[in-house]
Amino acid sequence: MANRFPVRESFQAAPRRVAAFALVLALGAAPALADDAVIDGIAAQVGSDIVLVSEVRNLIGPMEGKLREAGAPENEIEALRADALERLIERALIRQVVRRAELEATDLEVDNAIGTIARENGLSQAQLVATVEGEGLPYDVYRERIRGEIEQSKVLNGMVAAKVRLEEAELRAAYHEQYQDQPKGGDEVRLRHLLVAFTAETPEAKRAACTTAERARARLVAGEPFDVVVSQINEKVPGSADLGWIHEGRLASWMSGKVGGAQPGAVTEVIETDFGCNVLQVIDRRPYQPKSFEEVKGELHERMFAERMQKEYLKFMDKLREQTYIERKGIFAQTAPVGSAGGSGWSSGPDDDPSGF
């Protein structure tokens, strides 16, 4: 996870389809809760925690507004809400581990992380607040998302990273595979990639995705920081990232014709592919120099470590889900992932501790 702690949610499953959405859900047999929770409505129960309907609304509010402005169909909005609920369930599972392990992020840690984000994007604290709230995201909600990222990072570092091992031989094998045919000259470019994936294989969904990508592109052309644009356009857009340095001869075919010869700062038009609507930004360009193993060893280690961390994290989350009672309430019960029954799951007793604490 990046040290900057940008507000980006991880989409680790394909967008889900759900039926009609109700702002206030039937409470059914849920236990008695505080008045504000009852009035608000419960979207899901996760162990001893709950996810409120208002949390779902807060998470997807800005994006939902943009999709509606773009004329997105209702099933696309419903899929967005369903995916948001699954991300909030994941947050609740992480919070429970955080409480057991006493890994809570302090206000000072949150302040420092936000200060770092502001500095690295050339913004003052007041400008960052204005930018966030200008996109319809309350600043206190933004702070809590940053807090959640810090706590998730602590869980990753404390419980997941310890399971990842990389040997020198593996790094050398990766170097041989990736660099044995490396170019002898030419230029390489460093790119940022913004992807707005299709939520469905329909003309309407594709138009909505490309409209969102076009808005993001306009903001990049106007000079807004890439991280800020991505985090506010669609939380963490799958595939949106700094791609690092790539030799022009090794660019994907859909990229090469758009960035060939482009100078630093250039932003491409929206490029529609089979997997979504894309925008590329050229960060820098330089003559290519062949890389030795020692030169790229750190980069290889970082990338391979991150890939294995992701796999271990998914296993970790699967275990938490299996060992925690999860029930999606009301209409949200229809959003249950494949393999669960009636929107609920129970694989262990209420006193079991999947985190090992």
Question: Do residues 124 and 266 both lie within one domain?
Answer: no
Tens of pLDDT along 263-316? 898 999 999 998 899 999 999 999 988 889 999 999 999 999 989 988 998 999
Question: Do residues 133 and 272 both lie within one domain?
Answer: no
Q: What is the CATH number of the domain that holds 18?
A: 1.10.4030.10
Spatial contact of 52 and 40, defined as CB atoms under 8 Å apart: yes
pLDDT, residue 19, reads 19
Question: Do residues 248 and 320 both lie within one domain?
Answer: no
Question: Is the predicted pLDDT of residue 206 greater than 60, yes or no?
Answer: yes
Question: Do residues 260 and 301 both lie within one domain?
Answer: no
pLDDT, residue 25, reads 21
Question: Do residues 281 and 330 both lie within one domain?
Answer: no
pLDDT, residue 1, reads 36
Question: Do residues 135 and 177 both lie within one domain?
Answer: yes
Tens of pLDDT along 32-74? 333 344 457 899 999 999 999 888 888 887 788 888 888 888 8
Looking at the structure of the chain, the number of domains it has is: 2
199 — pLDDT class (breaks 50, 70, 90): confident
Provide the edge-to-edge strand list for the sheet that holds 344-345.
49-52, 42-46, 326-328, 344-345
Question: Do residues 175 and 276 both lie within one domain?
Answer: no
Tens of pLDDT along 136-184? 788 998 998 899 899 988 988 888 888 888 999 999 999 999 888 888 8
Question: Is the predicted pLDDT of residue 202 greater than 70, yes or no?
Answer: yes
Question: Is the predicted pLDDT of residue 348 greater than 50, yes or no?
Answer: no
Q: What is the mean pLDDT of the chain?
A: 79
| Percent of the chain at pLDDT exceeding 90 | 38
pLDDT, residue 234, reads 53
Task: Write 347-350 long-range contacts (CB < 8 A, 24+).
Answer: 347/322, 347/323, 348/322, 348/323, 348/324, 350/47, 350/48, 350/325
Question: Do residues 280 and 309 both lie within one domain?
Answer: no
20 — pLDDT class (breaks 50, 70, 90): very low
Query: For residues 216 and 222, what is the distance between their CA atoms, to the nearest angstrom?
Result: 10
Query: Domain range holding 216?
Result: 185-290
Q: What is the CATH number of the domain that holds 261?
A: 3.10.50.40
Question: Do residues 235 and 109 both lie within one domain?
Answer: no
Among the candidates 264, 290, 316, a domain finishes at: 290
pLDDT, residue 197, reads 85
Task: Write 174-180 long-range contacts (CB < 8 A, 24+).
Answer: 174/300, 174/304, 175/293, 175/296, 175/297, 175/300, 178/300, 179/290, 179/291, 179/293, 179/296
Instruction: Give per-residue burial for 92-111: e unless 16+ CB within 10 Å, then b.
Output: bbbbbbbeebebebeeebbe
Among the candidates 246, 271, 290, a domain finishes at: 290
Query: For residues 181 and 250, what is the distance between their CA atoms, to the nearest angstrom?
Result: 11
Query: For residues 38 and 351, what is the distance between their CA atoms, to the nearest angstrom?
Result: 26
Question: Do residues 193 and 165 both lie within one domain?
Answer: no
Question: Do residues 280 and 350 both lie within one domain?
Answer: no
